Amino acid sequence: MLDVTLIGCGAIGRTLLQRLAGHAGVRITHVVVTDSHVDDVQRTLGDAVRVVCDVPADARLVIECAGHEALTAHVLPALARGVECAVLSVGALSAPGLAEQLADAAARGRTQVHLLAGAIGGVDAIAAARLAGLERVTYTGRKPPAGWRGTAAEAVVDLDALAAPAVILEASAREAARLYPKNANVAATVSLAGLGLDATRVRLIADPTVRDNIHEIEVEGAFGRMQVTMCGRPLPDNPKTSALTVLSALRFLDNRTSAMTI
């Protein structure tokens, strides 16, 4: 049985808990939340999981799904003391130096930090193609207006009155992840697998004609050319997050306990 500590109990964390209930090889033993929410979350989750405000000293594997602050407050120190960590909030790595800090902490702790693919596919192919040299990586993210509510897009377009697709941002992956941290994890993941945050171009679109979150990637390099289009349905509890994000974490955990992995 693989014991896992989960950082965060938002829409992603709650769905992970539900999907892992009764799993034959994986169990979440602890959930890390801010100190002010420990009691409320504990009452909600019951006695099957212990809710705490810090990663336990004896943790073996951590799954993070809580955002930038969790990376600095919990993931960095856990890595430094040798705890293996998997990160879903990859967009947070747009902060200058944070990716290097994570790698350094993992090296000092003689462990690894895994950046999970989340809502996008083809990351393995991009990372492989990078070894021979990449020339261009572009990402286009298209979501219904509801997926952009509560973000910087509200200052760019009237989401409620939108009748046609509208480009809300054209920039580098670093800028996209900074301005849309809860929407642009995919852009950051694609860039970190390929040309990096500053060389990867991103286009974000609010589109009232679609219902799903649509991700488009174009990659060119010595390997040839690749185009990937994915239409991902959002989590029912959070239209800003693709359901595949949760499945990406589940796949990672399944690979840790299965006799054969792919």
pLDDT of residue 235: 79
CA 182 from centroid of its chain's CA atoms:
9
pLDDT of residue 62: 98
pLDDT of residue 181: 77
pLDDT of residue 57: 94
| Residue 76 contacts residue 105 (beta carbons within 8 Å) | yes
What's phi and psi for 196, nearest 5 deg?
100, 165
- Beta strand pairing status for 134-143 and 213-221? antiparallel
- 89 closest CA partner among 25, 163, 223, 181: 181
pLDDT of residue 129: 96
96-142 tens-digit pLDDT = 899 999 999 999 999 999 999 988 899 999 999 999 999 999 999 99
Query: Is 23 one of the catalytic residues?
Result: no
1-10 tens-digit pLDDT = 899 999 999 9
Least confident of 166-170, 191-195, 258-262: 258-262
CA dihedral 81, 86, 87, 93 (to 10 degrees): 60
pLDDT of residue 119: 84
Indicate if the pLDDT at residue 234 is higher than 80. no
pLDDT of residue 153: 92
Domain ranges in the chain are: 2-115, 123-240
244-262: average pLDDT: 92
From the list 68, 74, 114, 215, the catalytic residue is: 215
190-197: average pLDDT: 93
CATH class of 2-115: alpha beta
Q: What is the C-alpha to C-alpha distance for residues 1 and 26, in angstroms, rounded to an integer?
A: 6
Contacts of residue 98, Cβ cutoff 8 Å, sequence gap at least 6: 68, 71, 72, 92
Indicate if the pLDDT at residue 227 is higher than 90. yes
Indicate if the pLDDT at residue 238 is higher than 80. no
What's phi and psi for 167, nearest 5 deg?
-75, 125
Considering the segment(s) 123-240 as one domain, its CATH architecture is 2-Layer Sandwich (3.30)
Q: What is the C-alpha to C-alpha distance for residues 255 and 95, in angstroms, rounded to an integer?
A: 30
Indicate if the pLDDT at residue 30 is higher than 90. yes
49-63 tens-digit pLDDT = 999 999 999 999 999
Q: What is the C-alpha to C-alpha distance for residues 127 and 108, in angstroms, rounded to an integer?
A: 24
Pull the structure tokens for residue 25.
């090889």
146-189 tens-digit pLDDT = 889 889 999 999 999 999 999 999 999 988 888 887 777 888 89
Q: What is the C-alpha to C-alpha distance for residues 182 and 193, in angstroms, rounded to an integer?
A: 19
Pull the structure tokens for residue 109.
């702790």
pLDDT of residue 184: 72
